[in-house]
Structure 1
Amino acid sequence: MFLKHIAIIGGGIIGATAAFYLTRPTETDSVEVTLFDDGEGQATKAASGIISPWLSKRRNKRWYALAKRGAELIPELVHGAQLGSEVYEQTGTIVTRKSSEDLKALYTEAKEKAATTPAMGEVQLFSATQVGEKLPFLTTPPAGVFVSGGAKIDGAQFVNQLLDNAQAHHLKIVHGRAKFNSSGLITCDSQQVSFDRTIVATGAWMKATLAPLGLNLAVRPQKGQLIDISVHTKESWDTLPVMMPEGSSDIIPFAGGKLVIGATHEDDQQFDLTPTKTARDELLANAGAFISNLAKEQVVDMRVGTRAYTPDFGPFFGQLPTNPAISVGGGLGSSGLTTGPIIGYLLAKSVLGELDQDLSCYTKPVSDYLANL
């Protein structure tokens, strides 16, 4: 039986998902998978987020097709990897609009999409009172559209448990920063290794990862910060929905009275990972528009990560046109928890030779984001 040696560079949401699917038992060629990751600044491990792409204001059709497919895959992935409710929970989402006319239009859009999108579940138009009943910690609840198929996810737990699962199926993890030499071989800790196929998923750092290959990737970093707020409550909060207020920060309740608020979008901070008072105060004020009497003393944690953005804000993935043995996936922006898993899945299937569909409905060609140095 042929043994294929596969490398994954980057242990974020794309790399971890690819590792999970590459290490599944198979009746075809056996594989040996090595993942390289130094963990620095990883956006996924700093993130708690929402899986609910259907009512996004984004009008990029490729992005929507990808995000929609991602929202369908994640429950299957959670079940297959036996991830717990502390990682992922389908509690529904409440999406708001500032004007009543826009909210009615959103509800109409949601009903139309739900008719052909089973993953959305039930759609309801909620008054401010009904939103307050769903989220009792709100003191000034807005009206909104409730989508029962929406979910909340803990990025760090998601990645860690996927990698634990893959390690149980013989994934090898190397904790270090892997680099290419000009010949496309991987070096890490002064050791040079050759692989049959490589998946590169280094997020905002991918520009530097690909530079030794003579390629200039059009990707930029963006700093994102979020805060965890502790709220005294007698309720469990286990099944409370998340809220996505228009023009403000998402509010995500977790068990034990924890609220996650975020995240910021800071384009001028590059790879800086320092939590800032400015971000804390901004996020606290955004939450304070709906929850009165919040104090900075209730902020129990701040997390910082670095997202990757492309010029057109679209994710990209596929084989390098200059070296088909190397596949890449990135440019997730702020939708990484939704789009990352489906990209990891599709890349894994491609590497195994099991991909039987055209990817152009999900992404532009990788060449659109590359230039020779």
Structure 2
Amino acid sequence: MRVIVVGGGIVGASAAFHLARRGVATTLVDAGHRGRATPAGAGVVFPWPLPWDPAPLRAFTLAAAAHYPDLMAELADDGHATGYQVVAGMSVSADPAVADREHALLDQLAARPGHAGPARARRLARGEPARRVPVLPDHLEGVGFDGMARLDGRLARGALVDAAEERGLRRIGGDAELLGDGTRVTGVRVGGEDLHADAVVVAAGAWTARLLAPFGVRVPVFPVRGQIAHVALPTTDTRDWPVVRFADHDRFMVAFPPNRVVLNATSEPEAGFDHRVTVAGLRQVLADAVETAPGLAEATVLETRVGFRPGSRDGLPLLGPVESLAGVVVATGLGHSGLTLGPCQGALAARLAVGEEAEVDLAAFRPDRPGTPAR
């Protein structure tokens, strides 16, 4: 069997790896667009379903939580660096009532039978978050919990592709055009070469809609620009810092060794594919950082990145075949959860591409589902 994967982000790389690992003749076509979401992601992996998530998303998140550590361990055993590390997390707030609510929520996640959740949730007294992460203000309190992870999206994506190439993957750079007769996709054209396959996995992130439009297929995926900044604290070792969630603002901060801190990104659904760091966007990122973690005011700005998260109209992923177009599997629409759910989405897309059923019910994730027109 021959399968082509279009898109080389975390989802496409995972699909290519899982196909190549099972011996499927696999080709990965990657346009290398500026603004791919994977390398611009902050690196927060929050592997637990939340009580208010729709039931299908909870099941999907559970599958992702179970899949993650095994996949990362397999890549590490093969000698591939992923930048994946399970670390502690903290949810912090200036309001004791908010901290109590967060504690109750995390306890609820941990107690659910059969549900992935934090192993322990501990109430943190006023000042304790600042003792653990010294850039935080002293008046914060919150909840500490085990099991959260951080991931370097660039490294993880590279590890998946390299491991797939070791198993026979062919990789081609360039813009892909789907081939077919209007009712079935038969392959892709890239760089003047026609490549034929039994199935094509379209995992092109925010660019997915463009690929399918010539066949009259409208999928509800659109770009959500995120501008993000990386800073450094040259005299501070950040390798053991937990991931921090600011409950009052729904923001995250994640640290990487030796002294790098990644700030919360903007969310700009109306920016289209405008790949720019704007004054307003960077100002928001830096102002938010100093507001929530004043100790970052003297940090060195290392770099800024721009990524286009693939958003969906209803907030649910897009995963599965297209009813009116045989031979294609769509895998995208993860929004800000790409690094958390992407490896599992790629693995499930690989199963679908070879004619197997997914382990979870994907009916709600139909890429051509009604009522969710593309922007």
Q: Could you tell me the TM-score, scaled by structure 1's length?
A: 0.90
Question: How far did 1:212 drift?
Answer: 1.5
> d(CA) in 1 for partners of 2:323 and 2:207?
20
Alignment of 1:345 with 2:338, yes or no, is no
Deviation track 1:301-346 (CA, whole Å, cap 9, x = no partner) reads 0011101111101111011112332100111111111111111111
CA distance in 2, matches of 1:214, 1:118: 40
2:8 to 7, 11, 34: 11
The corresponding residue for 2:101 is 105
Q: Distance in 2 between matches of 1:14 and 1:343?
A: 6
Return the letter of the residue paired with 1:21.
Answer: H
| TM alignment of 1:177-326, pairs within 5 A | 177-183=175-181, 184=185, 185-235=187-237, 237-246=238-247, 247-292=249-294, 294-295=296-297, 298-326=300-328
1:250-280 deviations in whole A, cap 9, x for unaligned? Answer: 1111112111002110122100111122222
Q: How far did 1:134 drift?
A: 1.9
> C-alpha separation between the residues in 1 aligned to 2:139 and 2:9?
35
Q: Which of the numbers 20, 42, 59 marks the counterpart of 2:17? A: 20
> Aligned partners of 1:84 and 1:174: how far apart in 2?
21
In structure 2, the residue matched to 1:160 is 158
Question: Which moved further from structure 2: 101-110 or 350-359?
Answer: 350-359
Write the distance in 1 (CA, Å) between the matches of 2:110 and 2:50: 14
Give the CA deviation at 1:157.
Answer: 1.0
The count of corresponding residues between Structure 1 and Structure 2 is: 363
Residue in structure 1 matched with residue 64 of structure 2 by the alignment: 70
Aligned-pair distance for 1:109?
2.0
Moved more, 182-191 or 263-272: 182-191
1:86-116 Cα distance to aligned partner (Å, 9 max, x none): 6111112112345322321221121122023
Correspondence for 1:35: 28
In structure 1, the residue matched to 2:86 is 90
Aligned residue type for 1:273: H
The answer for the alignment partner of 1:364 in structure 2 is 365
Q: Write out aligned runs for 1:169-180 (5 A).
A: 169-180=167-178
Bigger shift: residues 95-104 or 156-165: 95-104
Distance 1:154 1:103, change over 3 A: same
| Unmatched runs of 5 consecutive residues or more in structure 1 | none
Note the aligned Cα RMSD (angstroms).
Answer: 2.3
* Percent pairwise identity: 27
- Inter-CA distance 342–356: structure 2 relative to 1 (3 Å threshold): closer
User: Which residue type is aligned with residue 87 of structure 1?
Assistant: G
1:59 and 2:56 are equivalent in the alignment: no
Deviation track 1:30-66 (CA, whole Å, cap 9, x = no partner) reads 4210000011121002113211253758533322322
Task: Point out the more displaced range, 247-256 or 50-59.
Answer: 50-59
Query: In 2 relative to 1, CA 158–86 (structure 1 residues): closer, same or farther, beyond 3 Å?
Result: closer
Separation in 1 of the partners of 2:324 and 2:317? Answer: 19
**Range with greater deviation from structure 2 (166-175 or 63-72):** 63-72
Match of 2:109, SS? helix
| Matches of 2:280 and 2:176, distance apart in 1 | 34
TM-score, reference length from structure 2: 0.89
